[in-house]
Amino acid sequence: MPIQLLPPEVADKIAAGEVVERPASVVKELVENAIDAGARQIRIEVREGGRRLIRVTDDGVGIPPDELPLAFARHATSKLRTLEDLQHIRTLGFRGEALASIAAVSHLTMMTCQVGSSSGSLIHLEGGAQVRRSEVGMPPGTVVTVAHLFYNVPARLKFLKAPATEAGHIHRVVMHYAMAFPEISFNLKLDERVVLQTSGNGSLYDVLLELLGAETCRQLLALPEDNSSFSSAQVSGYVSAPSLHHAQRDHIILFVNRRCVQDRLLSTAVVQAYYTLLPTGRYPVAVINVMVDPAEVDVNVHPAKSEVKFREPQEMFRVVQQAVRSTLLAKTTPFQITTHLEGNVSTPTSPAAEREWRELSHFGFEVQRTLSVDEETESPDTRLPMLRVLGQMALTYVIAEGPDGLYLIDQHAAHERVLFEEMKCQYAAAAVPTQQLLFPVLLELTPGQAAILEAERTTLSQLGFELEHFGSDTYRLHAVPEVLASSDPATALRDILADLAESGALLARRADERVMTTVCKRAAIKAGQSLSLREMQELVRRLEQCEAPCTCPHGRPTMLHLSAAQLAREFGRI
Amino acid sequence: MKISCLQENLARGLGIVGRAVASRSSLPVLSNVMLATDGGRLKLSATNLEIGISCWIGAKVSEEGAITVPARLLTEFVSSLPPEQIDLELSVRTQTLHLSCARFEANIKGIDAQEFPIVLTAEEGAPFVTVDPDELRQMIARVVFAAATDESRPILTGVLTAFEGDRLTMAAADGYRLSVEHITLEKAVPEKVEVIVPARALAELARISADQTEPIGIIITPARNQILFHLQDIDLVSQLIEGRFPDYRQIIPTSYTNRAILDVQSFLKATRVAHLFARDSANIVRLDINAGDELMPGRVTLMATSNQLGDNVGQLDATVDGEPIQIAFNAKYLIDVLSVISSAQVALDTISPSSPGVLRRPGDDRFVHVIMPMHLPR
């Protein structure tokens, strides 16, 4: 085939594919237009997951009749004039491609009426070509109806998911805009059913209450309004208290200049702000908007604008992390469950406190958790009472009885805590026992691992890893900390380096404590290991000696407590 | 199959093969023991696919046959029978073994013998080497405990077994200690052979060879993947561990700066006492070794300290030659090795607090034990 210029309709369809990927992207573009038009109310109607119909109705400024045909030309926009304008975009859209792209792959009808104008105009396009144009009577605003989406792109049609899935995507998109623009009232109807409705009263909390539910919102903490002292960027929004967490990251919703973005950097910043407050592998809920000077951020990275580039990503990371972290540290103190318990393991006293208590824990048991936000909170009066070991469950939990009920102890977490405190003492006294290896182990590391090892080498050697540099990224290991002596030294060190890499660049903890945490994690007995009664007694005895026995060094609880009173209640004895 | 045998013979045979029965296996037939007639005798076999043990007992065979039955049930049933003649008869159709002894009768449901894995037994012909059972057993006892129990380093869970010239050497190490011993063979081997035998197999061999008097024949399969120990009426076969055993020879120090000769029993006792205190603090026991002078004999002081429990000091007289030295060991390792040394005295050779400590039998180079020291910065 000879090289030739593509006919315009082919080019249009190809270009449309970049912007219009699925019905949700149509909704996104139309809602953005409505917002840019200054709408106070936006109604979205979707049928069959958007395949059959998408209708977005707003009460914005409308389009003058003479500009209407031009609105559907490619690269036609009212939002941008010169190249300089691109530097400080304040509108959501700017590329002038959306309407053209959508029109190219659907039957599109637009009715628009300017404020103050007596009548509106209607334009109907099929596959990008104007079919009908007339005057209509209507209130000010714009109504865009997209029907038979992808009717002329069978490939795309085939790849659409089930209507329910597509509807889910649409719901998510609208939800994000509702969060970003609490002053606009959103109404989303899926197949004649109102699934989302916000009041538009300008309060983000009210929007979240509507979208996330009262249960979640009760555990949200507002970021301080004024944190401009940190930098030019303004961070606002809500984050969850450490008691609320999910297995997935997708509850972290981020906006940059009110534009919803998928940014790994910022979401990592949020997650790391929770370091030691959340169990590993659990993620918080966060709705955060970052306002920055438009010149500081490039939104023109991706046609769907879901990615942004910061001029100073490190600065953004720091600002977000600090805002979240300081909120958590400032506000979690009154939340501390230990306050209900007077810092020890007695049962909640007031019925109200107890109810709240029950809601906070997943099991309906009283969960003993100190937040261990900092060293300071590890108060010495959280020590355990004397416990009597009853047995082991599922090769993971030690069951013990105390003066006030039953304790379920996570053997791994508990051992981690015991080792950590013991090692901390030994480290402070510079007396960590080490065991020499019979055969020095040759470790060939990746450059990344070697860099971490070099960075932490002093701490590692003080903890008992006797390492000798053996050319490029190879090291020879001569001795290991005694706690690790029962495992394979090479694997142990590699695991520790991997853990360090994962938790890299973390704040709060001192570097040496971070290394100790990983060493102890590695050395601790694992779940699934059968323990004899004596071993369990020994573990519990050592745990009793600990200063903060209720959490492991990573912040997970080491034990659950089921009080005698609770048992009596559950069995209907009282 | 229809046979008769004596209760005590069957009970003894089942006790021998019983140790090879798989305790938890996904293959049900492995928790069974196979009974088969074999040239006028009854052959019992069990295997967990790592090791297999076969044992022959005298029996009156009236009808040939084979069956496998649950090992635990059969062993416990037979051992509770009176010491009289047991008649066994197999119903081939139902694969059920009928046992009768005195006034007891039982029917035990079995699994077809065809499903049982083949347990290798010695063929006719000369074995590769023969060794004295007592010597072999003692060597195993002094070496096998040093092997690793942790599966993360499979090689170290085995014992390096090397035949070279007229010498059989066994070496085991777990990364922190090394035990090596060699014995002299009656007949030199034609070629050097090195294999790694699972420590568990050797431990079982030591156990079942307890009342053997005849030399034990050792056969290595041509593919070098199994080793077979041929005892009187018993064959033990084991898989070999593949891989290269670390070169242990270069670890054994060739010199020393301090040699202390101690009485084994008092050394062991003092270490056990120290261990009571060391248990809480990483099992560390510190040895303070001082040469004596004209008035004082040489002295080894054992110290253990626990932050919570207190401390302990024990003193031992010793013949010490060399500069004074302080060195720390894991008490458990010391106890392990001192418990198996058969001589009255032991020599402890040291160089520096961070160099390996070596234990030997004075005047006997056949046994060497190396322990890596621990560090407790003060």
Which of these three, A332, A366, A385, is where a domain ends? A332
pLDDT at A270 over 50: yes
Give the domain CATH number at B272: 3.10.150.10
Does B63 share its domain with B139?
A: no
pLDDT score of A169 more than 70: yes
Whether the predicted pLDDT of A569 surpasses 70: yes
Q: Would you place residue B81 in the very low, low, confident or very high pLDDT band (cuts 50, 70, 90)? A: very high
pLDDT of residue A231: 62
| Residues B6, B108 within the same domain | yes
Cβ-Cβ pairs closer than 8 A, A with B, add up to: 64
Taking residue A354's Cβ as centre, other Cβ atoms within 10 Å add up to 16
Residue A354 has pLDDT above 50, yes or no: no
Answer for the pair A389, A399: CB distance below 8 angstroms, yes or no. yes
pLDDT at res. A358: 43
Which residues in chain B touch residue A476, judged by CB atoms under 8 angstroms apart? Answer: none
Which chain B residues are within 8 Å of A435, Cβ to Cβ? 176, 330, 372, 374-375
Shortest CA distance from A430: residue in chain B: B377
Question: Most distant CA pair in chain A: distance in Å?
Answer: 93
Greatest mean pLDDT among A64-73, A452-461, A475-484, B351-360 lies in B351-360
Beta bridge partners of B215: none
Same domain, A322 and A344: no
At A56 the pLDDT is 92
User: Across residues B304-317, what is the average pLDDT?
Assistant: 85
Contact A125, A108 (CB under 8 A): yes
Average pLDDT, rounded, for chain A: 79
Last residue within a domain, chosen from B81, B115, B149: B115
Q: Would the pLDDT of B50 be above 70?
A: yes
Residue A475 belongs to a domain with what CATH number? 3.30.1540.20
Residue A509: predicted pLDDT: 54
- Cβ–Cβ below 8 Å for A431 and B281: no
Provide the pLDDT for residue B69: 94
Q: What band does A365 get if pLDDT is binned at 50, 70 and 90?
A: very low
Q: What is the pLDDT of residue A344?
A: 38
Mark which of B115, B146, B162 sits at the end of a domain: B115
Is B352 domain-assigned? Answer: yes
pLDDT higher at A153 or B285: B285
pLDDT 10s digits, B188-222: 888 899 999 999 999 999 999 988 888 999 998 88
pLDDT above 70 as % of chain B: 99
Give dist(CA A335, CA A242) in Å, integer.
9
| Strands across the sheet containing B104-109 | B60-63, B2-6, B85-91, B96-101, B104-109
Domain end position, chosen among A332, A355, A376: A332
Do A411 and A457 share a domain, yes or no? yes
Interface test with A, best of B156, B176, B245 (most A CBs within 10 A): B176
Please state whether A464 falls in left (phi above 0), alpha (psi between -120 and 50) or beta.
left
Task: Evaluate whether residue B248 is within a structural domain.
Answer: no
| Percentage of chain A exceeding pLDDT 70 | 85
Residue A206 placed within a domain: no
Is the domain of B139 the same as that of B227? yes
Considering only CB atoms, A489 lies closest to which of B175, B281, B356, namely B175
Show Cβ contacts of residue A413 under 8 Å, excluding neighbours closer than 6 positions: A524, A551, A552, A556, A557, A558
Flag if B372 and A545 touch (Cβ within 8 Å).
no
* A519 contact residues in B (CB cutoff 8 A): none
B374 part of contact set with chain A, CB < 8 Å: yes
Contacts of B246 in chain A (CB under 8 A): 439
Burial class (CB within 10 angstroms; exposed 0-12, middle 13-18, buried 19+) of B218: buried
Cα atoms in the 13 Å half-sphere on the side-chain side of A514: 21
Tokens, residue A139: 């209130």
Is residue A476 pLDDT above 80, yes or no?
Answer: yes
Same domain, yes or no: B108 and B135: no
Q: What are phi and psi of A276, to 5 degrees?
A: 70, -10
Higher pLDDT, A328 or B228: B228
For A284-293, what is each residue's pLDDT tens digit? 889 988 888 8
Mutate to test the interface with B, among A435, A478, A494 (most CBs of B within 10 A): A435
Q: Which of A436, A451, A446, A412 is nearest to A484 (CA)?
A: A436
One domain, residues A23 and A153: yes
Question: Is A272 contained in some domain?
Answer: yes
Structure tokens that stand for B7 in this block? 């209760």
pLDDT at A342 over 50: no
Domain span at residue A465 reads 336-574
Express each pLDDT in B145-165 by its tens digit: 999 988 778 899 999 999 999
Looking at the domain assignment, is residue A74 inside a domain?
yes
Task: Supply the pLDDT for residue B285.
Answer: 92
Position B278 in a domain: yes
Q: For B249-274, how does the pLDDT look when each residue is reduced to its tens digit (9 = 90+)?
A: 988 998 999 999 999 999 999 999 99
Answer whether A435 sits within 8 Å of B376, measured CB to CB.
no
Residues of chain A found within 8 Å of residue B354, distances taken between Cβ atoms: 436
In a domain, A2, yes or no: no
Check residue B377 and give its pLDDT.
Answer: 61
- Higher-pLDDT residue of A511, A147: A147
pLDDT average, residue stretch A426-441: 85
Within-domain flag for B300: yes
Q: Residue range A250-254: average pLDDT?
A: 87
Residues of B whose CB is below 8 A from A525: none
Residues of A in contact with B351 (CB under 8 A): none
Same domain, B271 and B355: yes
What is the rounded CA–CA span in Å between residue A86 and residue A89?
A: 6
CB count in 10 Å sphere of residue A547: 14
B356/A435 Cβ within 8 A: no
Whether B173 sits inside 8 A of A438 (CB atoms) is: yes
User: Whole-number mean pLDDT of chain B?
Assistant: 90
**Rounded to two decimals, what is the model's pTM?**
0.60
All residues of chain B having their beta carbon less than 8 Å from the beta carbon of residue A439 are 173, 175, 246, 251
Residue with tokens 């020499």: A436
Residue A162: give its domain's CATH number.
3.30.565.10
| B285 in the same domain as B366 | yes
Q: Is the pLDDT of residue A507 over 50?
A: no
Within this chain, do residues A351 and A287 fall inside the same structural domain, yes or no? no
Domain check: are A526 and A494 in the same one? Answer: yes
Residue ending a domain, choose from A332, A358, A386: A332
- Domain shared by A357 and A410, yes or no: yes
How many structural domains compose chain A? 3
A77 in Cβ contact with A85 (< 8 Å): no
Q: Are residues A33 and A152 in the same domain?
A: yes
Structure tokens given for A432: 């960590």
pLDDT(B85) > 90: yes
- A532: in domain: yes
Q: Measured between beta carbons, which residues in chain B are less than 8 angstroms from residue A545?
A: 308
Whether A17 has a pLDDT exceeding 60, the answer reads yes
Residue where a domain terminates, one of B115, B142, B175 = B115
Q: Which of A78-92, A344-358, B104-118, B298-312 is least confident?
A: A344-358
**B153 reaches A (C-beta below 8 A):** yes
Residues B110 and B43 in one domain: yes
* Shared-domain flag, residues A328 and A354: no
Backbone φ and ψ of A239, nearest 5°: -130, 160
- Whether residue B297 is contained in a domain is answered as yes
pLDDT category of residue B47 using cuts at 50, 70 and 90: very high
- Place A304 in a pLDDT band, splitting at 50, 70 and 90: low
Indicate if A273 and A384 belong to the same structural domain: no
- Option in A425, A436, A483 nearest B354 (CB): A436
Which residue from B minimizes the CA distance to A480? B374
Q: How far apart are the C-alpha atoms of A40 and A36, rounded to whole Å?
A: 11
The three-state (H, E, C) secondary structure of chain B, written as one string: CEEEEEHHHHHHHHHHHHCCCCCCCCCHHHHEEEEEEECCEEEEEEECCCEEEEEEEECEEEECCEEEEEHHHHHHHHHCCCCCEEEEEEECCCCEEEEEECCEEEEEECECHHHCCCCCCCCCCCCCEEECHHHHHHHHHHHHHHCCCCCCCHHHHEEEEEEECCEEEEEEECCCEEEEEEEECCCCCCCCEEEEEEHHHHHHHHHHCCCCCCCEEEEECCCCCEEEEEECCEEEEEECCCCCCCCCCCCCCCCCCEEEEEEHHHHHHHHHHHHHHHCCCCCEEEEEEECCCCCCCEEEEEEEEECCCEEEEEEEEEEEEECCEEEEEEHHHHHHHHCCCCCCEEEEEECCCCCCEEEEECCEEEEEEEECCEECCC
Same domain for A476 and A490, yes or no, is: yes
Whether residue A65 lies inside any domain: the answer is yes
ipTM of the complex: 0.73
Question: Do B201 and B291 lie in a common domain?
Answer: no
Q: Which pLDDT belongs to residue A544?
A: 85
Question: In b/e form, how buried is each residue of A174-199, taking b as 16+ CB within 10 angstroms?
Answer: bbbbbbbbbebbbbbbbeeeebbebe
Residue with tokens 């085991």: B172
The contacts of residue A174 (CB under 8 Å, 6+ apart) are: A27, A31, A44, A186, A188, A196
**B153: nearest CA in chain A?**
A488
Best of B157, B306, B355, B374 to mutate (most A CBs within 10 Å, chain A) = B374
CB contact under 8 A, A435 and B374: yes
Does residue B252 lie in a domain region? no
B178: chain A residues, CB-CB within 8 Å: 438
For residues B235 and B317, state if they share a domain.
no
Q: Does one domain contain both A225 and A109? A: no
We report the CATH number of the domain holding residue A259 as 3.30.230.10
Nearest CA in chain B to A485: B176
CB < 8 Å from A in window 219-248 of B = 246
Mean pLDDT for the stretch of residues A74-87: 72
Instruction: Identify the band that residue A229 occupies on the pLDDT scale cut at 50, 70 and 90.
Output: low
Instruction: Tell me which DSSP letter residue A298 carries.
Output: E
Q: How far is CA B194 from CA A299, B47, B188, B199, B263, in A?
A: 68, 24, 15, 15, 35
- What is the domain count for chain B? 3
A302 with A247, same domain: the answer is yes
Q: Which of A419, A423, A424, A436 to substitute to test the interface with B, most B CBs within 10 Å?
A: A436
Question: Shortest Cα distance from A429 to chain B (angstroms)?
Answer: 8
Answer whether residue A557 is part of any domain. yes
What single DSSP character describes residue A6? P
CB–CB of B368/B180 below 8 Å? yes
Q: Which of A438, A476, A487 to mutate to test the interface with B (most CBs of B within 10 A)?
A: A438
Secondary element (H or E) of residue A144: strand A141-147
- Write the pLDDT tens digit of every residue in B22-37: 877 778 899 999 999 9
The reply to whether A1 falls in a domain is no
pLDDT at A382 over 60: no
Burial class of A502 by CB neighbour count within 10 A (0 to 12, 13 to 18, 19+)? exposed
Is residue A348 over pLDDT 80? no
Structural domain for B157, as ranges = 129-239
Please state, in angstroms and rounded to a whole number, the distance separating the CA atoms of residues B56 and B34.
Answer: 12
Give A375's pLDDT tier (boundaries 50, 70, 90): very low
What span, in angstroms and rounded, lies between the C-alpha atoms of B344 and A252? 72
Q: Is the pLDDT confidence value at B369 over 80?
A: yes
The pLDDT of residue A226 is 63
In a domain, B38, yes or no: yes
Q: Which of A432, A436, A487 sits opposite B372 (nearest CB)?
A: A436
Question: Left if phi > 0, otherwise alpha if psi is -120 to 50, otherwise beta: which for A61?
Answer: alpha
Within a domain: B245? no
